Amino acid sequence: MTQWYYADRQRRQLGPLPATEIARLFRGGEVDAATLVWRDGMAAWQPLGTMRAELGLDEAPPPTLDFRAAPEPVPAAAAGSPAGVEAIPPVPQVPAHAASGGHAGYTYAAAAATVDADDVVHAGLWRRFAASVLDGFITGIISYALLIPLMLVFGLSMSNLASGGFAETGMSVGFLTLNYAISFGVPALYFAWMHSSSSQASLGKMAVGVKVVRGNGDPVGFGRALLRYVAYLVFAIFTCGVGVLVSGLMVAFTQRKQALHDMLCDTLVVDRYAFTAQPQMQKRGLDTVTVVVLVIFGLLMVLGIIAMVAFIGMLSSMRWH
């Protein structure tokens, strides 16, 4: 009777088992079509779904099966193997950053192969813009939730203090200092924390299905994520917004779709399944959330322009004395 081996999600080799036992595990949901299997006479481990006929499986394979997985090269026979017995090839390994969990909240199939640079889907301009719109809305809410009580406190304090010029000036400087600290500090801490977390993405990026990684696919640390936002802020402030426009053009036309702050900090914005054990799950083009955000943003822009034109027309029709 032919004996089979299979690899679990921790890449441990289990077996030998008869074909009937492999079929039972499949029907019980303990293994799936992407689970790697091997038997004597096979050159390399193969996804279970490709061996359905031989194993007698009558169910259709789950959609996680990736038939594009290239066959592994036949390894040399292990030293000390008994004569006439074929050595069991090692179970193919996934990248270190994928094996450690990859993108939080997603389970990776065991049969995925190592990702080449050519297989990485980089986030384009519009997905990144939609993520920025969402993140700007989120950080704006957080900032104003802190600033509004601060404004009330400083307003009441200034009205109750002695009406000395130095006191009012001191309170004004103190309020402006806290105002700028919150306005710039909240987004900086938000992006640094989110991009260095297990999700590798801010809430806006998670919504559009992208994440931030190092140039080699490794996760980004807190310090690098903070430096990335500071670099973006510096470009935006000291160029009066021109740096943001230049960064957008670079995302649209560079090969790896890197902005200026990405190049400086050696980071990439890629699809959430990039550099994981499921590269076949990556999506090119625009996702549904991106399209919805862009449509709503466009409508708001059109309404704003119409309102501005109407206001200017109303002012011009008024008679001034």
Give the pLDDT score at 213.
95
Task: With beta carbons less than 8 A apart as the criterion, state whether 109 and 273 touch.
Answer: no
Give the pLDDT score at 105.
37
Q: Are residues 74 and 134 in the same domain?
A: no
Closest among 214, 312, 292 to 258, alpha carbons compared: 214
Q: What letter represents residue 227's amino acid?
A: L
Give the pLDDT score at 100.
42
- 100 occurs within a structural domain: no
Q: Are residues 83 and 206 in the same domain?
A: no
- 97 occurs within a structural domain: no
Q: Are residues 87 and 130 in the same domain?
A: no
Angle, CA of 140, 144 and 145, to the nearest 5°: 115
* Token couple for 173: 């400087």
Task: With beta carbons less than 8 A apart as the criterion, state whether 186 and 147 touch.
Answer: no
- 212 occurs within a structural domain: yes
3-state secondary structure of 268: strand
Number of compact structural domains in the chain: 2
Q: Are residues 261 and 131 in the same domain?
A: yes
Closest among 275, 258, 266, 262 to 214, alpha carbons compared: 266
Q: Are residues 168 and 235 in the same domain?
A: yes
- 107 occurs within a structural domain: no
Q: Are residues 134 and 51 in the same domain?
A: no
Rounded CA separation 35/309 (Å)? 62
Give the pLDDT score at 178.
86
Predicted confidence pLDDT, tens digits, the chain (321 residues): 788 888 887 677 888 888 888 888 888 888 888 888 888 888 888 888 888 888 877 555 444 444 444 444 444 444 444 444 456 666 555 444 444 444 433 333 333 333 444 578 999 999 999 999 999 999 999 999 998 888 787 765 555 544 554 455 666 777 788 888 999 999 999 999 999 999 999 999 999 999 999 998 899 999 999 999 999 999 888 888 888 888 889 998 998 999 999 999 999 999 999 888 888 888 888 999 999 999 999 999 999 999 999 999 888 877 665
Give the pLDDT score at 224.
95
Q: Are residues 73 and 221 in the same domain?
A: no
- 235 occurs within a structural domain: yes
- What is the CATH classification number for the domain harbouring 43? 3.30.1490.40
- 226 occurs within a structural domain: yes
Burial 75-101 (b: 16+ CB within 10 A, else e): eeeeeeeeeeeeebbebbebbebbeee
- 47 occurs within a structural domain: yes
Q: Are residues 219 and 300 in the same domain?
A: yes
- 315 occurs within a structural domain: no
166 CB burial (10 A radius; 0-12, 13-18, 19+) = exposed
Rounded CA separation 226/304 (Å)? 33
* Token couple for 223: 């310090």
3-state secondary structure of 46: strand
* Token couple for 158: 């200034």
Q: Are residues 299 and 162 in the same domain?
A: yes
Structural domain containing residue 54: 3-92
Q: Are residues 142 and 203 in the same domain?
A: yes
Number of other CB atoms surrounding residue 232 within 10 Å = 23
What is the strand order of the sheet 3-7 is part of? 13-18, 3-7, 36-39, 46-47
Give the pLDDT score at 24.
86
- 240 Rama sector, left if φ>0, alpha if ψ -120 to 50, beta otherwise: left
Angle, CA of 185, 300 and 245, to the nearest 5°: 55
Q: Are residues 141 and 239 in the same domain?
A: yes
pTM for this predicted structure = 0.61
Task: With beta carbons less than 8 A apart as the criterion, state whether 210 and 127 touch.
Answer: yes
Q: Which of 76, 92, 108 is the last residue of a domain?
A: 92
Q: What letter represents residue 124's amino acid?
A: G
Q: Are residues 301 and 240 in the same domain?
A: yes
